Amino acid sequence: MKFIIVLQLLLSTTLFAQVSHIYSFGREWVVVNESVFERGAKAFYPIPDLPRISTGADLGLVSRAFDGDYGYLTEQVGNKALRLRFGQKLATQEGPRWFWSMSQVLKGEFHFLAVNQKKALVERLDATDENGDRLFQILTVDLLGGESNLVISLKDPATVRQASAVASGGQFVVFVNDGSIHLVEAETRTSSVIETDFLHKASPKFVDSISDGNGKSRSQPPMFIGSPFFSKEGEIYVPMQLRERNRWSMTAMQALFDDLPIAEKSKAIEAGKWPPKQEYEGSDTVFVLIRYDFDLRKVTAVQPERLGVLVRADKYTGQIMLVQTEWPVDLTEMGGQILLLKDALKESGVDAKTIK
C-alpha cells in the first residue's frame, strides 16, 4: 500500500503543463503559454511573424513546443489519452497561421516528455508485465506516420521511477530518477545507457529511503520538479528534489531547542529527549540542480552561489532548500546565472501579461 501511495504522489508531480526547451545547433527555443521565444546571449527574443501556438480547442493539460521549424501541441486528457500533433507556419491573406496535422492519439495513460522534428518522446504510465507488476516504459512516436516504438523498458516493481527528458538535435536525453541517463536516437529509435548513477555524483550524501522509526525503511524517491533546460553551450540542467544525509551538531540542536515554544520544550524535557546525549544523524529534502555536460558525459551539481535568491540555507543544518514551494519550477540560465524563466523574460522586456 505504501508503494502505491508513493507511486501516485510521484506520478502526480510529473503531470504539470511543462515548458519545453529545445536545443539544436547552438539555438534554444522555449514556449511560454502560447508565445515562442528564442534565447540570445543576454536575452530572450520573440520569433518575428510567428503565430501563437494554439488551436483554441484544448481539451486537457496542454504542452507546447517549437523546434525552429514546427510547432507542437500535446494534450493530456486525464488518464484516457494523449493527443499529439505538429503544425507548419503558412502565409495567408490574414497573416501567418499554423496548419495543424491530424492528431496522433495514444489511448491509455501516457506522459509527454519531449519533441523535435516531428518525433515525440512519451512515458507510458499504465504498462505492466504478465504478473501485473508495473513496467517503466519510454516510447518514440512519429507524428507524421503515427508509428510508436518502445525504446526503454525497465522491470523492477520495487523501484518508483520517474523520467524527465530534453530534445537536443536528433536525440533525446532521458533522465530517470533511479540515477540513470539514457540517450535515444530519434531516427533509429534505439537507446543506450550513458550514465548509471548521476544522483550520487551530483549529491554524495544522497539517500533514497528514511527510517520509519520502527526499524524499517520507507522509500523516498527523488523527484523532478521542473523542466530541464540548457546553457548557451548546450549543457543540460535538471531541477530535482531529493534527500541528503545531514548531521545535527550539539550547537544546531540547541539552536532548534531555543526556537521551540515553551510547551514543546517542556514536553521534550518530560519525555527525556532533552538534553540530547549525542549528535544526531538524519536526512532532509533538499534542492539540487543537476548539471550534465553532454560532450564530456560529466555530472555535477550547480553551486548555490549561482542560484542566488532561488534558494536558502537551512537555519540549522545549512542544507540548500528551494525558496519557491509551487511546482513546476521553470528556470533558465542567462549570463552564467540561474534565474526563474519568468524573471529572465521580464528582464528581456517581454510583456508581463504574456508570461502571467
Q: Render pLDDT for 284-332 as a digit per residue (tens, 0 to 9).
A: 999 999 999 999 999 999 999 999 999 999 988 889 999 977 768 899 9
Residue 338 inside a domain? The answer is yes
Residue 108 inside a domain? The answer is yes
Residue 94 inside a domain? The answer is yes
pLDDT bin (cut points 50, 70, 90) of residue 216 is confident
Residue 137 inside a domain? The answer is yes
Report the pLDDT value the prediction gives residue 250, as an integer from 0 to 100.
87
Residue 104 inside a domain? The answer is yes
Report the pLDDT value the prediction gives residue 20, as an integer from 0 to 100.
83
Choose the most confident range, by mean pLDDT, from 51-65, 114-128, 148-162: 114-128
pLDDT bin (cut points 50, 70, 90) of residue 143 is very high
Q: Which domain holds residue 342?
A: 2-347
Give the residue-averaged pLDDT of 254-264.
92
Domain count, the chain: 1
Residue 355 inside a domain? The answer is no
Residue 354 inside a domain? The answer is no
Give the residue-averaged pLDDT of 163-191.
95
- Would the pLDDT of 40 be above 90? no
Please write down the HEC assignment for all residues of the chain: CHHHHHHHHHHHHHCCCCCCEEEECCEEEEEECCEEEEECCCCEEECCCCCCCCCCCCCCEEEEEECCCCEEEEEEECCCEEEEEEEEEEEECCEEEEEECCCEEEECCEEEEEEECCEEEEEECCCECCCCCEEEEEEEEECCCCCEEEEEEEECCCCCCCEEEEEECCEEEEEECCCCEEEEECCCCEEEEEECCHHHHHCCCEECEEECCCCCEEECCCEECCCCEECCCCCEEEEEEEEEEEEECHHHHHHHHHHCCHHHHHHHHHCCCCCCCCCEEEEEEEEEEEEEECCCCEEEECCHHHCHHHEEECCCCCCEEECCCCCCCCEEEECCEEEEHHHHHHHCCCCCCCCC
